[in-house]
Amino acid sequence: MWADAVLLLRRHPFQFVISALVLTVAGSLIESAWGWVVTTLVDESDPEPAQLAQLGTLSLLLSLAVFLTVFALTGALQAVLVVQTIVGRPVTIRAALRLLAPRIRAVLGVTALLTVVPQLVLLALIAVLSVFIWQWLSSELDAFLATGGDPVLDSVPPSPSEALIAVAVIVVPTFALLSLVWVVMALALLFAPITAALEPLRFGGAVRRSMLLVGNNLWRIVGIILLNLLIALPIILPLFVPLVLIGSIFSVATADLPSWAQEVMSWPFDLMIAAFIAWQVTVLVLLYIDVRIRQEGLAADLWQRRTAASSGTPDGGAGDPTGDTKNG
């Protein structure tokens, strides 16, 4: 599966990598524009620490939303490209966009879901947990004052280890809960952009279909994703430290340039990120096809379309990337 993904990228680098690059650069431009807005607000209004924290939270959520948007749109486009490769049809971005056009509403709906819902759920959990933590701290302080203690004069400052343990008791479970919720949502919607692109389903049907496919193959999918991360780490880690150093030098060297010039000069880094995203998304599309081949006999449909392509006969599934209508 991983070798097949690399082979697809080698055979069609423009279609897979450049399409991912365009979406990655668009995401970078959005984040750069937001960074300019935040910098302007900070310089002109001199916000309070609480406001800075709010801006930092919004920046983090925006980064997650941009990443999920790039992931969803790249997944939808590359899903069509992968199927066109398998069935022997022309692998071009124009042909993929033509096949994707009838499904654009479902794809955009799934993209909006991935972009908005996880952020809102995390914000709601953060708000609820913050209220509980604040009430707990307030009750502890009230109990201390009720005993006649003075929190300033009579209390003994905790040791660094005690303070660290007290913070860890609150922060670690909170972070674990938020991470667990995010992972569960990500797994449930893992195939949603692909199903929206490849199957004749509306928005809600694509989401339910993704949940069904993941639920029926949960441990296999989790295992392959973990193996995929283990395979990716030896590729990422040797590049991480040099990229950080180069990025730091690059930021200092281009600090006086206009923002658009900095964005253009960062394209080599965006190209590396796009190549990695293209590889990861291609693996995910192949995993989706593997699941359907094992459970639904998709191989017969794909082989029929490939035979038709090799004989030069018209493609009966030209309006449907998978040639599959039983899920409509």
What letter does residue 200 receive in the DSSP assignment? S
241-291 residue pLDDT tens: 665 566 556 555 555 555 555 555 566 677 777 777 788 888 888 999 989
- Distance, in Å, from the CA atom of 127 to the CA atom of 134, rounded to the nearest integer, reads 10
Query: DSSP string of 52-118?
Result: HHHHHHHHHHHHHHHHHHHHHHHHHHHHHHHHHHHTT----HHHHHHHHGGGHHHHHHHHHHHHHHH
Q: Has this prediction a pTM greater than 0.75?
A: no
119-148 residue pLDDT tens: 777 777 777 777 776 776 666 556 655 655
- Distance, in Å, from the CA atom of 326 to the CA atom of 208, rounded to the nearest integer, reads 15
Residue % of the chain over a pLDDT of 90 = 4
Q: Are 114 and 68 in contact (CB under 8 A)?
A: yes
Quick one: pLDDT band at residue 318, thresholds 50, 70, 90?
very low
180-216 residue pLDDT tens: 877 888 888 889 999 999 888 888 899 999 999 999 8
